[in-house]
Amino acid sequence: MSGAIRVVLYEGAGSAPFGAGERFEITRALLEKGYRVTRAHAGGRGTAGAEGAPLVVLGRFDEAKPAEAVSEAGAPVYFRDVADRQPDAIVALVEEAGAGAGATKPGGWKPWFPVIDYGRCTNCMQCLTFCLFDVYGVSGEKKIQVQKPSNCKTDCPACSRVCPEVAILFPKYKAGPINGDEVNDADLEREKMKVDISALLGGDIYAALRQRSQHAQSRFAKERDDARALEERKRCLTKLQQALDIPAEVLGALPSLDDIRERTARAMAQTNPAPATGEEGA
């Protein structure tokens, strides 16, 4: 594999400019198929090819170009004359070149993952301990980081709800401040109320349900009804799901309080320097 293919719309020496409408349609069609497009003039100031990705140079060339060359970075460069071609046909040319270069096919994943605002993050590890999908990890410098973004559950912003500092963004989320909008005092107040969601979800709910269950056992021992308890739990979770915009399947897979405690301990062990035991290297 040689990375994702890049496209250059070349309108410099030896290639007639595209019409504005044509340039727009070609660019849009390529973007929507997941291709990155650089518009370059003579002498080219773009970054195309700088990182060694295969390149397709599209132009309305005055004279015949070699079909293929090699960039300074050693990547294949494909020249394609696209005069009088429709955007769809141009996309097909690019796809064909990409297949020939063994390039990664674009798209196929909605890039949904948490982004940490380190200007706000206090490295408290609540996100790491709460996340069910091992998205987070700890760096060599003992710093929380997103290590497996593709593990993230699409459209789930749950970890941002547990962050006491509103430091976790999901840029594609519908509303602020999770979408990256500036954090204001009202947001902070609101989020502080949700600070202990990991306990609320992992602990309080279970505790509340246990309490209710015990209560029910003592009062209605003869009428014990597991189905009713289950319904009650569902109602609780549905309320939370609606209030916090957390997918049902995530709520349904919540860790137990013990799990959360264990994860927290593991995370903290990662962030704290190992105690000197005098046994290093043993």
Partner 1 sequence: MSADAGTPRILYCHCAYAQAVPKPVKQQVLQTLTASGVEFEAVPDLCEMSAKRDPALAELAGCGALTIVACYPRAVTWLFNAAGAPLAEGVRVLNMRTETAEAVAAALPRRTERGAGAPASEPVGECDGRSPSVKR
Where does this chain bind partner 1 (CB under 8 A)? 8, 11-13, 17, 20, 23-24, 27-28, 31-51, 72, 106-107, 109-113, 115-118, 146, 149-150, 169, 171-174, 176, 179-182
Q: How would DSSP label each residue in 150-218?
A: GGSPTT--HHHHH-TT--EE-TT-SSTTTTSPPP-HHHHHHHHTTTTHHHIIIIIHHHHHHHHHHHHHH
- Residue showing tokens 């699409």: 154
| Ramachandran sector of residue 240 (left: φ over 0; alpha: ψ -120 to 50; beta: rest) | alpha
- Our CB check for partner 1 shows the closer of 182 and 279 to be 182
Q: Find out whether the peptide bond into 114 is cis, omega within 30 degrees of 0.
A: no
- Residue showing tokens 């044509």: 22
Instruction: Measure the CA–CA gap between 119 and 101, rounded to whole angstroms.
Output: 41
- Our CB check for partner 1 shows the closer of 169 and 251 to be 169
- Our CB check for partner 1 shows the closer of 116 and 254 to be 116
Nearest in space to 195 (alpha carbons), one of 160, 147, 223: 160
Minimum distance, C-beta of residue 170 to partner 1, in the bound complex (Å) = 9
Instruction: Measure the CA–CA gap between 183 and 194, rounded to whole angstroms.
Output: 15
Handedness of CA 241, 244, 246, 251 (dihedral sign): negative
Burial per residue of 61-98, b for 16 or more beta-carbon CB atoms within 10 angstroms, e otherwise: beeebeeeeebeeebbbbbbbbeebebeebbebbbebb
Minimum distance, C-beta of residue 3 to partner 1, in the bound complex (Å) = 9
- Our CB check for partner 1 shows the closer of 115 and 208 to be 115
- Our CB check for partner 1 shows the closer of 176 and 203 to be 176
Minimum distance, C-beta of residue 220 to partner 1, in the bound complex (Å) = 49
- Our CB check for partner 1 shows the closer of 110 and 228 to be 110
Nearest in space to 256 (alpha carbons), one of 146, 144, 132: 132
Minimum distance, C-beta of residue 184 to partner 1, in the bound complex (Å) = 12
CB 69 within 8 A of CB 77: yes
- Residue showing tokens 């295969």: 54
- Our CB check for partner 1 shows the closer of 113 and 130 to be 113
- Our CB check for partner 1 shows the closer of 145 and 264 to be 145
Q: Facing residues of 77 across strands?
A: 55, 69
Minimum distance, C-beta of residue 9 to partner 1, in the bound complex (Å) = 9
Minimum distance, C-beta of residue 257 to partner 1, in the bound complex (Å) = 31
Minimum distance, C-beta of residue 155 to partner 1, in the bound complex (Å) = 10
Minimum distance, C-beta of residue 256 to partner 1, in the bound complex (Å) = 30
